[in-house]
Structure 1
């Protein structure tokens, strides 16, 4: 039924009428003047059909334009989120992408050194940043209680990287609280974003051998929280040991 409805019945009816008129003229049933009149009427009907379709097309185009304007207006009124919560299924890819997209200076604040104990995680998260040509320097700001673990598990891995020189000397300080952050400019736009997490459950799963991040907040560049975290890092650097 749908296939039949797709046919252009106006055109089909016109063709049938024209053929019938020609046959009747050949059989001398109608005169040439009548045949001419029929032709004119058919042309007029087809012209009116095209005009009707043109009006319908203009109406559809106007409706689509109005819909587009309405959607853009709705989107313009929606406030983008300050932060996006990233869960276990995509956290590793998100952190790796962050290191790959980073530019200029990267700040790694109060991250857990045990996280880099596994070579696989070190390569995916930190080595990606070290070997990223757009990253000019990497600064770690860590709590003094993690110094032994850092020097025994992470420093040897850093020294094996080709671009190890961009990793600055670690700033050791006394950090209270369980907030950790990775801060950097991203992509060509250079907008500063931040991966924000917290020590302990549920944000970090702790095992006997290593810690594994489970949740992070990807703080967007327009958020005031990025500037606040930069201030937290600067304050911690002022009290280095």
Structure 2
């Protein structure tokens, strides 16, 4: 290691400096005449020019290597395709959900979400309250299964009423939802596009807890995903489908 460092020194520059100092001292002592001194100066200037040319070539080679590296990195980046859907596991589930609701904006759709996960006050405060109080959110519309009406009226709705911005939460659209798909659809001011948090009822995506079924895995659907139009169409088809009268079994608008 020491030998490598020793060899890396600019010995031609060191020799030139030593020669210049020695020649100057000898000239001051009148041991070296002006003609020899001039020759030494010319030789030193030649060494300096050679040294400059060598470093200039090394700089050119370095610049070429940097250009080739940048080109290779550009080709790799161009070949990389951003994921359309990101799986979020149990360890990051809560943080991903909080991040999503805190940065949503505009009109939002909450389709077939499991209201039981909002039963514990801490989860309500972390996952739903920030969306209600988010000034960038203009409306919150739930599309819910009839079976969750009691939980909505007794637990969720009273808590929403106690939040600032509760007037933006519309009356839920109650439907008989037999689908196992659940999602939150909203624009994000971070990505400047529409995104979704997608989950599915049942194993392995939901887990049974003391407060009811809670998500175990969710999918963060990115703004460039081809899945988003299908989620929008699913919500529209369920909203505009005729409602079923639970008592008579007849369809009603």
TM-score range, shorter chain: over 0.9
**Cα-to-partner distance string for 1:96-154 (whole Å, 9 max, x where unaligned):** 11111111111001110100001111111111101111100000001111111222121
Q: CA deviation at 1:60?
A: 0.8
Kept in 2: contact 1:174–1:240 (CA 8 A): no
Conserved? CA contact 2:191–2:223, under 8 Å: no
* Aligned Cα root-mean-square deviation (Å): 1.8
Deviation string, structure 1 residues 155-197 (Cα, Å, up to 9, x no partner): 1111111111000000011112211000001106641111111
Gaps of 5+ in 1: none
TM-score, with structure 1 as normaliser: 0.93
Aligned partner of 2:59 in structure 1 is 57
Note if 1:141 corresponds to 2:143: yes
Q: 1:55: how far off?
A: 1.6
Q: Distance in 2 between matches of 1:228 and 1:44?
A: 75
Q: How does 1:1-241 map to 2 (within 5 A)?
A: 1=2, 4=6, 7-26=9-28, 28-187=30-189, 190-239=192-241, 241=243
Question: SS of 1:128's equivalent?
Answer: helix
- Contact 1:86–1:215 (CA under 8 A) maintained in structure 2: yes
The separation in 2 between residues aligned to 1:148 and 1:211, in whole angstroms, is 16
Deviation at 1:9, TM superposition (A): 2.9
- CA distance in 1: counterparts of 2:227 and 2:107, whole angstroms: 18
What is the rounded CA distance, in whole Å, between the counterparts of 1:117 and 1:5 in structure 2?
Answer: 73
> How high is the TM-score relative to the length of structure 2?
0.89
After TM superposition, give the deviation of residue 68 of structure 1 in Å.
Answer: 1.0
Q: Distance in 2 between matches of 1:211 and 1:176?
A: 16
* 1:118–1:210 CA contact under 8 A, matched in 2: no
Aligned residues: 241
Q: CA deviation at 1:79?
A: 1.7
Post-superposition Cα deviations, 1:195-220, rounded to whole Å, max 9, x if no partner, equal: 11111222222112233322111111
3-state DSSP of counterpart to 2:82: coil
- 1:91–1:215 Cα contact (<8 Å) kept: yes
